[in-house]
Amino acid sequence: QVQLVESGGGLVQPGGSLRLSCAASGSIFSFNAMGWYRQAPGKQRELVATITTGGSINYADSVKGRFTISRDNAKNTVYLQMNSLKPEDTAVYYCHYSHYPWAYWGQGTQVTVSS
């Protein structure tokens, strides 16, 4: 089992920034992928960004150039720096951990972009 604890969500004005963190604990494999997905009201959950322990990164087109994902492998922690936030970024953001065939989700943290 892997436990994921997220932090850093909140309310921010358009154009502002937030930084999300997610710490993993439990049965962590040395090679894994961690990342962030989000789900807005009435929409399906979608990929935001992922990063492997080897440093391979994947971003959704909608966040490229604005969001930066990073990780500290020694702390089993992944970060999402979100800049130039837009109202359409409003969603519950979920941390994700995977090592095939296992996958785990965090409880989610709300990000609201509004003036």
pLDDT of residue 85: 98
pLDDT of residue 11: 97
Sign of CA dihedral 94, 99, 104, 106: negative
The pLDDT of residue 61 is above 90? yes
Report phi then psi at 28, rounded to 5. Answer: -90, 130
The pLDDT of residue 87 is above 90? yes
pLDDT of residue 29: 86
Per-residue confidence band for 92, with pLDDT thresholds at 50, 70 and 90: very high
